[in-house]
Amino acid sequence: MKENILSEFVAESHQFCINIGIKIDDIRQKYFEAKPVVSFWVDNKAITSVTFRSFKKGIKYSLVINEDFTELFKEKFGEASTPVGNKKHSNTWSTYDRSLFVKMVQTFVN
């Protein structure tokens, strides 16, 4: 059952990436840890990866920006998400807002 849910989530997330113009280089990880999560490496000079996490309140969309583009991204979309662990800074932006995520991605895809 869990495997089916994860498989469907991976397929939906992959199709969503295709629909908004993200070129997927590889699936970095896919696992089920209470909730489905999938991360993709992205074929893009500005964006390193995108991650989709399923929560009760909806899907949380995250993207990791290559360091050379973080200042530009901050100017457009504000500060990055809070760093995790012992990181001093973060170049990851996360949102539950699907339309904002699409806008953030398409800034560097088109």
Structure tokens at 65: 């920006």
Average pLDDT (55-68) is: 92
pLDDT tens-digit profile of 22-34? 999 888 776 666 6
Q: Report how many domains make up the chain.
A: 1
For 68, the domain range is 2-109
Given pLDDT bands bounded at 50, 70 and 90, which one contains residue 102?
very high
Q: 88: domain CATH number? A: 3.90.1150
Average pLDDT (3-14) is: 88
Q: CA-CA distances (angstroms) from residue 99 to 8, 23, 28, 86, 87?
A: 22, 18, 24, 31, 28
Look at residue 19 in the predicted model and tell me its pLDDT: 94
Instruction: Report whether 5 contacts 32 (CB < 8 A).
Output: yes
pLDDT tens-digit profile of 85-95? 666 778 999 99
Instruction: Provide the pairing of β-strand 58-65 with 47-55.
Output: antiparallel
pTM score = 0.88
